[in-house]
């Protein structure tokens, strides 16, 4: 099966920033992404759980984008503007996709 190289960018960010991040991504031409809820975790601010939050605003989400390698820089610049001052993690991994024309 023919596969194509791509980049998988995962941005874990506070739920209140979700709309701002996706708007910035769309503005930068990244129209394909998946948003996942985050149940909890642990980091610099200590342990954290979805159950200890009174509303969705206290939670976090994970925004996953799979893009062509040449579009990575544009995406990261757009994402950085939103996440710079906020709690969160941005990671980039290499991946392969089956249908290159979709990304």
Partner 1 sequence: MDGILALAADNLLSPIILFFALGVAAAFARSDLSVPEAVAKGLSIYLLFAIGFKGGASVASHGIDATLVLSLVAGVVLSFLLPVVAFGLLKGMTRLSVTDAAAVAGHYGSISIVTFVAASSVITSVGLSSEGYMVAVAAVMEAPAILSALWIIARFGKTQAEMEEGLVREILLNGSIVLLVGSFVIGWITGDEGLEMIAPFIVAPFQGVLCLFLLDMGLVAGRGLREARSVLTPGLFAFGVLMPLVGSAFGLAAGLLLGLSPGGVMLFMTLAASASYIAVPAAMRVALPEANPSIYLTLSLGVTFPFNLTLGIPIYLAVARALTGG
Q: Which spans of this chain sit near partner 1 (rule: CB under 8 A)?
A: 14, 16-17, 19-20, 45-58, 85-87
Nearest distance from C-beta of residue 55 to partner 1, angstroms: 5
Separation of alpha carbons 7 and 96, rounded Å: 8
The nearer residue to partner 1, 51 or 101, going by C-beta atoms, is 51
The nearer residue to partner 1, 44 or 99, going by C-beta atoms, is 44
The nearer residue to partner 1, 32 or 37, going by C-beta atoms, is 37
Nearest distance from C-beta of residue 17 to partner 1, angstroms: 7
């Amino acid at each position: 099966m023919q596969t194509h190289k791509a980049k998988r960018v995962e941005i874990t960010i506070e739920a209140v920033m979700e709309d701002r991040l996706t708007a910035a991504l769309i503005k930068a031409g990244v129209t394909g992404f998946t948003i996942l809820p985050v149940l909890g975790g642990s980091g610099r601010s200590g342990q954290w759980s979805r159950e200890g939050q009174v509303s969705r605003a206290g939670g976090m989400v994970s925004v996953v984008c799979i893009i062509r390698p040449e579009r990575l820089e544009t995406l990261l610049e757009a994402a950085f503007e939103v996440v710079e001052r906020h709690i969160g993690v941005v990671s980039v991994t290499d991946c392969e996709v089956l249908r290159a024309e979709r990304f």
